[in-house]
Amino acid sequence: MRFTKMEGIGNDYLYINGFEEKIEDPAELSVRMSRYHFGCGSDGLILILPSQQADFRMRMFNNDGSESEMCGNGIRCVAKYCHDRGLTDKTLLTVETGAGVKTLRLNVVNGQTESVEVDMGQPELDGLRIPTTVPGNPVIGYPVEVNGRTYPLTMVSMGNPHGVTFVEDPSTAPVTIDGPALEVAPLFPRKANIEFVHVVDRTHVTMRVWERGTGETLACGTGACAVLTACVLNGLTEREAEITLPGGKLTIRWDEKDRHIYMTGPAVFVYDGQWLQD
């Protein structure tokens, strides 16, 4: 079975062309292929599939086998794969995801996709619809205690649930200790991605993320979108800012007219491979 490894600012997935390959159990395959030392090593597996309502469909599986609705870095790589590998010649694509159909605009130079802008849609701010057990629209600064520390969380869904908290220094924050506890806190019935954020100024933000079903990753596109949303809701930044993650930078914009979040960032091929374990 052929696959391609790609990354978007360090958020790396294994991509399988579902037009050519048939996968019976993608969840189990994601666990096996994503293992370090015994597999390829990745944050998970993404299938590129036909769609009846968009140009393409993506299904995303974390490296623990759980399926997620949406991945911002992953969908940019899907767009690059589809264009640069000749599945389409369009530079304006629609991709069906578990969080609905997303529209992507490709910046193509000399036939190669250098960056992709993704219309991530409107953020969901209703606490019960995110989902959390906390009513309110929006839910800002809700205190959650784990491991003897209290984190005020601003809740956002970008098709998947996020809890955003502001800290003095993300590099020293106990992300790998308190992130897992916050992910499975009872107020998140479907678990959540947790972002630890520092606002540098009104157009620059740094963050680290504990991703639901994966652990700490170098980047999270939906997380960066949730962070910009939370920053605006808390009055800390402008509606467009550069978000710096351990793996690189994304530009996130919350449009005042259509209320959609727009994410722009790179997508990179790493290597092509053939999986031999059946």
Give ∠ CA 57-61-66 in degrees, rounded to 5: 130
Q: Which residues pair with 61 in a beta bridge?
A: 45, 67
Half-sphere exposure of 257 (CA within 13 A, CB side): 0
Report residue 128 as tokens.
């019960």
The active-site residue out of 40, 77, 82, 220 is: 220
Separation between Cα atoms, residue 68 and residue 135, nearest integer Å: 24
**Does 220 participate in catalysis according to the annotation?**
yes
Report residue 146 as tokens.
């784990």
Which residues are within 8 A (CB) of 36 and not within 5 positions of it... i.e. 6 or more apart? none
> Considering all CA atoms of the chain, what is the largest pairwise distance in Å, rounded to the nearest integer?
54
| Helix and strand totals (H; E) in the chain | 4, 18
Contact 114, 108 (CB under 8 A): yes
The active-site residue out of 71, 77, 225, 231 is: 71
Separation between Cα atoms, residue 157 and residue 125, nearest integer Å: 7
Quickly list H helices, 70-113.
72-84
Separation between Cα atoms, residue 179 and residue 162, nearest integer Å: 12
What distances in angstroms separate CA 140 from CA 164, 170, 172, one per listed residue? 9, 20, 24
Separation between Cα atoms, residue 132 and residue 191, nearest integer Å: 9
Q: H-helix or E-strand containing 129?
A: none
**Does 82 participate in catalysis according to the annotation?**
no
Q: Which residues belong to the active site?
A: 71, 220
